[in-house]
Structure 1
Amino acid sequence: MKKTEHTSPVVVVTGGARGIGLEICNTFLKRDYRVAALDIDKATLAKTEASFNNPSFLAIACDVSKPAQVSRAMDRVEKKFGRIDALVNNAGVAIFKPILEVTWQDWRTIMDTNLDGAFWCTQACAKVMLKNGGGSVVNIASISGLRASTLRVAYGTSKAALIHLTKQQAAELGDVGIRVNCVAPGPVATEMAKLVHSKAIIKDYHDTIPMNRYGSTEEIANAVAFLCSREASYINGQTIAVDGGFDAAGVGLPTLRKSRTVASTRTSAK
């Protein structure tokens, strides 16, 4: 039986105006969720709201690093939809600099949004979730939280902390019916990535990813939707790297690929 407007589950997606967050919103709408998208970029958020033109979509301008704004936003979601069943902490910022050039403000900007924002949003959403017996939280970390990369000392550290925060939240909130898990995307083909990833960086990634390509926003969104679904009802405190095998790989992929090419050429010549 198709869910009605009043029985459809509700998901809150932070950083929902563009990129991975936008794809997550779209995926949940297709699965008959009511969706509340929070984003600090008011102009882009307004365009996103207009493009959906859907009564099941609520756009809220919010800086997730500000607890008071987060609290007001969750109050609006509860007032509009009556409940919250899932939260996706996707909002994040990145500043790429050599480690000795990172300023105090750089560090604070990244931690305030990537780590503190996820903490505040979960605190606020969990209180609403408990009124209806629980729910699911998915934190969006990064492969940079699992393995070190150059120029990402603040970003990578914030995502590593988010991965551990996931475990802390899962340990306590799981006891009251709220599952908390984490998705760590590898490089994803977003508009932002196209702007900041040079041909050399793209080659570096391909040289380290066994699947030899970037991921798509849809692939990330599908993993998030699964973790929020009943099919994942006994998964709690876990981090899933959606990265084409990037975290699993060591050195030697380019050499292996060359040797395969040579072997294939020899075989074809016979």
Structure 2
Amino acid sequence: MSSTLAQLEVMTEASPNLSLPLTGKIALITGASKGIGASIATKLHSQGATVIINYSRDPTPAAALVAQLGPFRSHHIKADVSSVTECKRLVDETVSRYGRIDILVLNAGVLPNRDLAATTEDEFDGTFAVNVKGPYFITQAAAPHIPSGGRVVFFSTSLTAATTVTPNYLLYIATKGAVEQMTRVLAKDLGRRGICVNCVSPGPTGTDLFYNGKPQAVVDMIAGWNPMGRIGTPEEVANVVRFLAGHESAWVNGQNMRVNGGMA
């Protein structure tokens, strides 16, 4: 599809909803076929944005989400964000279709349970490739196509600040510490062009991935770490991304938004 035709479809679909705050915006979201990413795509789409749903392997959830949202303002692209070549292709396909990227959300990530003794070199390299190298090089490829007023949203975790963190999160936390520093420095760099760069750091969030393999007693224990006594929802995280994606956040730059109900 040509970029002209794609833009026409965006305008046609958006025309009845010109009052929506993200009307006309192009949002690329990595790891967006399930969980928090899917909630972000749904939220931004509901606010008028055209959403590009990236996935790495199984096309079924991504296709189902596009079918749910409608084909005019949603599109899915397969790309493995651990590969620099794939990162560039993901950006190139988005720009070829829509002409620019207004909102870039780097949500894709992996969460290994590895302490120091259990970590192998392959696991170290693979985790850093997805969680750090991918966001780094997607942003590098996308930056020339992000206009003034654009938004970049990285993802970390509240575990970087939580006293309850356990040794098995060492490898994961190491990658997210790097992401937080990328946010801090890129806010200075891209901020010169009027682009805001921020980070969202959820606490325990009720996705299928979070619940998988956890007995109820463990879920209850984790919920008990929070003063509100519960697990967060993907929609609550998506609401914060929606704020950072919109014009209301124009003076929020270089910040790490911890979405955890007071856990950390």
- Give the shorter-chain TM-score range: 0.7 to 0.9
- Comparing 85-94 and 39-48, the one that deviates more: 39-48
Q: Is the 8 A contact 1:145 1:163 kept in 2?
A: no
Aligned counterpart, 2:187: 170
Other structure's SS at 1:188 match: coil
Aligned counterpart, 1:85: 102
Q: Is the 8 A contact 2:224 2:230 kept in 1?
A: no
The runs of 5 or more residues in structure 2 that have no matched partner are: 1-14
Aligned counterpart, 1:157: 174
Instruction: Give, in whole Å, the separation in 1 of the partners of 2:171 and 2:89.
Output: 29
Q: How does 1:140-219 map to 2 (within 5 A)?
A: 140-147=155-162, 148-219=165-236
Give the TM-score normalised by the residue count of structure 2: 0.87
Instruction: Give, in whole Å, the separation in 2 of the partners of 1:235 and 1:83.
Output: 22
Q: State the one-letter code of the partner of 2:151.
A: S
Instruction: Give, in whole Å, the separation in 1 of the partners of 2:122 and 2:218.
Output: 26
Aligned counterpart, 2:260: 243
Instruction: Give, in whole Å, the separation in 2 of the partners of 1:136 and 1:13.
Output: 12
Q: Is the 8 A contact 2:180 2:199 kept in 1?
A: yes
1:136 aligned onto 2:151: yes
Other structure's SS at 2:226 match: coil
Q: Specify which of 64, 69, 82 is matched with residue 86 of structure 2.
A: 69
Q: Specify which of 53, 63, 75 is matched with residue 70 of structure 2.
A: 53
Instruction: Give, in whole Å, the separation in 2 of the partners of 1:171 and 1:149.
Output: 33
1:21 aligned onto 2:32: no
Structure 1 residue 134: deviation in Å?
Answer: 4.4
Structure 1 residue 162: deviation in Å?
Answer: 0.6
Other structure's SS at 2:75 match: strand
Other structure's SS at 1:165 match: helix
Greater C-alpha radius of gyration: 1
Identity of aligned residues (%): 30
Q: State the one-letter code of the partner of 2:73.
A: S
Deviation string 1:28-62 (CA, Å, 9 cap, x unpaired) is 11000001111102333233333333211010000
Structure 1 residue 99: deviation in Å?
Answer: 2.6
Deviation string 1:131-190 (CA, Å, 9 cap, x unpaired) is x33411011111123334331111111111111110011011111111100010000011
Instruction: Give, in whole Å, the separation in 1 of the partners of 2:190 and 2:252.
Output: 13
1:109 aligned onto 2:126: yes
Other structure's SS at 2:210 match: helix
Instruction: Give, in whole Å, the separation in 2 of the partners of 1:62 and 1:54.
Output: 19
Give the TM-score normalised by the residue count of structure 1: 0.85
Instruction: Give, in whole Å, the separation in 1 of the partners of 2:176 and 2:93.
Output: 28
Q: Is the 8 A contact 1:138 1:183 kept in 2?
A: yes
Instruction: Give, in whole Å, the separation in 1 of the partners of 2:183 and 2:166.
Output: 22
Instruction: Give, in whole Å, the separation in 1 of the partners of 2:170 and 2:69.
Output: 37
Q: Is the 8 A contact 2:25 2:50 kept in 1?
A: yes
Q: Is the 8 A contact 1:144 1:159 kept in 2?
A: no
Q: Is the 8 A contact 1:174 1:236 kept in 2?
A: yes
Structure 1 residue 127: deviation in Å?
Answer: 1.0
Q: State the one-letter code of the partner of 2:150.
A: G
